[in-house]
Amino acid sequence: MTARTYGTRLPGLPPEPLGGKLIVVEGADGSGRTTEVARLKEWLEIQGHAVVDTGLRRSTLVSEEIDRAKQGHTLGATTMALLYAADFGDQLENKIVPALCAGSTVLADRYIYTLMARAIVRGASRDWARRLYGFAFVPDLVVFLDARPEILLHRAIGKYGSLDYWESGMDLSLSRDLFESFFLYQARLADEFGWMATEYGFHHVDANRRPDEVDADVRALVEPLYRPAAGGRGARARTGAGSATPDGRAASG
Amino acid sequence: MNADLASPHHGYPGRLFVFEGLDGSGKSTQAALLAKWLAAQGYRVFQTEWNSSELVSNTIRRGKKKGLLTPTTFSLLHATDFADRFDRKILPPLRAGYLVVCDRYSFTAFVRDAARGCDPEWVRTIYSFAPRPDVAFYFRVPVRVTLQRKIASRLKINYYEAGMDLGLSDRVHDSYERFQSRLKREYDRLAVSDRMTVIDSTRPVERIQAELRDHVRPILAGFPTMETLMHDG
């Protein structure tokens, strides 16, 4: 991929284009995202591609702080947004960049879009959130798994036996009722993803279906990224995640 | 809350005085003296400083051990810390009508992050939640003087203060001088772009303090003391 960020120069980035590919799978909890990431990883590896998978909040740098903050519920919205951004930055620079440099495919189970949506729903301005994550790379492909709230609800309950406090947005005090809060929160997130879809070039996949049907659609989107076609990698990358921001420019200058 | 008490700079009824400058520039000494003077006149004063909190220092220690910190994560961790301090220590007294004396503010981040190579505009956006202070003093002093003060007070120079992570030099003192010079260049630039009040900090403490009080008096014209608040309120 060409090392292009969403507008902000990332200090210390290698100047040459990165060899690997960055594929992002986004979608709400219960959209089948994690299942799809596992399937896609398996498929890509069988094709002979080295795959590194990454998700949110898996970095060693601040995960403890995030856990502690969640237990205490004490940090403000801006503070939490910045803490998540630090965590993402750590993963980007210490995991994603090295993997891309090594020519691997990085498969991201959620990316800045979820982080931005969560921050915005909690009171951050859209503009602030977009600029905050301006240092993130523009992926080669963003797949968005679209599922109806009722489907999300059934899968969430099926998976955990109940609804999760955070995934129901209980910290937002939308409703004291967990069930109702879940719907209100997911609707707000969906709204934010809707705003981002065109801007960031999401490829929607209907996730109300069976996993193998979803997987087939995702493969159809991923497959062309590896085609050694005329026009090559660069051309593909541009049709991938699209020209996201008007001021998006090459990070390596 | 009396509407005409709103600050023309940030709109809150309190006033925000910011002290900025290199380590060893004398800003903390001056901030403490000014706060004391303000309190002695009967104003409600709240003093706060921005040093590494537990959150940041723990994380930085961990990051350093693993060699994980980059200019971007370093910047974001400090921003996280500042946001938390702003929510807890700066905004509440400002809204309650206090005179808030801040030893370091967002300018510290602008300077430090720029010296580490972060995009200055990005850093400014991140800190856009922090309003403009009523006055921002910049204690200007040659780097050489701050180093002498450091050595004289036998304070240990820490790794990040010396910018050792940037690989400017293997020797701590040398690296410190180079890094602090970068910071000073950034401060000098900000002093102009952000119209900071530049204080020549090579002079005796008393002279500087007298000058600060001269700057602050007009800002406080008509500002209520504790007593006027209680009797006229």
Is A2 part of the contact surface with chain B (CB cutoff 8 Å)? no
Rg of chain B, C-alpha, whole Å: 18
Is A229 part of the contact surface with chain B (CB cutoff 8 Å)? no
Cα–Cα distance for residue pair A13/B200, rounded to 1 Å = 39
Domain extents for chain B? 12-219
Report the gap between the CA of A12 and the closest CA in chain B (Å): 8
Cα–Cα distance for residue pair A5/A133, rounded to 1 Å = 9
Report the gap between the CA of B73 and the closest CA in chain A (Å): 5
Q: Which domain holds residue A128?
A: 24-241
* ipTM, 2 dp: 0.85
Residue A3 lies in a domain: no
Cα–Cα distance for residue pair A230/A224, rounded to 1 Å = 12
Candidates B77, B83, B122; nearest CB to A8:
B122
For an interface test with B, give the residue of A65, A126, A245 to mutate (most B CBs within 10 A). A65
pTM: 0.86
The answer to whether the CB atoms of B83 and A135 lie below 8 A apart is no
- The CATH architecture one would assign to domain B12-219 is 3-Layer(aba) Sandwich (3.40)
Tokens of A167: 């995934």
Q: Tell me the backbone φ, ψ of residue A143, rounded to 5 degrees.
A: -100, 130
Q: Which residue has the tokens 């990070």?
A: A251
Please state the domain count of chain A: 1
What angle, 0 to 180 degrees and rounded to 10, lies between the N-to-C axes of helices A63-72 and B54-66?
Answer: 160
Looking at residue A49, which CATH number applies to its domain? 3.40.50.300
Q: What is the pLDDT of residues A28-49, one digit of tens each?
A: 888 999 999 999 999 999 999 9
- How many CB atoms sit inside 10 A of residue B199's CB? 24
The answer to whether the CB atoms of A61 and B62 lie below 8 A apart is yes
pLDDT at B150: 80
Q: What is the pLDDT of residues B170-193, one digit of tens each?
A: 888 889 999 999 999 999 999 999
Report the gap between the CA of A1 and the closest CA in chain B (Å): 21
The answer to whether the CB atoms of A82 and B122 lie below 8 A apart is no
The answer to whether the CB atoms of B73 and A90 lie below 8 A apart is yes
What angle, 0 to 180 degrees and rounded to 10, lies between the N-to-C axes of helices B71-85 and B106-115?
Answer: 180
> What are the pLDDT tens digits along chain A (253 aa)?
667 889 888 887 776 677 899 999 999 888 999 999 999 999 999 999 999 999 886 666 777 777 776 666 567 889 989 999 999 998 999 899 999 999 999 999 999 999 999 999 999 999 999 999 999 999 999 999 999 988 888 887 877 777 888 888 888 888 888 889 999 999 999 999 999 999 999 999 999 999 999 999 999 999 999 987 644 444 444 444 444 444 433 333 3
Residue A34 lies in a domain: yes
For an interface test with B, give the residue of A70, A75, A79 to mutate (most B CBs within 10 A). A79
Cα–Cα distance for residue pair A128/A142, rounded to 1 Å = 22
Residue A250 lies in a domain: no
Q: What is the pLDDT of residues A37-81, one digit of tens each?
A: 999 999 999 999 999 999 886 666 777 777 776 666 567 889 989
> Is pLDDT of B30 > 60?
yes
For an interface test with A, give the residue of B60, B73, B85, B106 to mutate (most A CBs within 10 A). B73
Q: Tell me the backbone φ, ψ of residue B9, rounded to 5 degrees.
A: -90, -40
Q: Which residue has the tokens 């949506």?
A: A117
Residue A128 lies in a domain: yes
Residue A8 lies in a domain: no
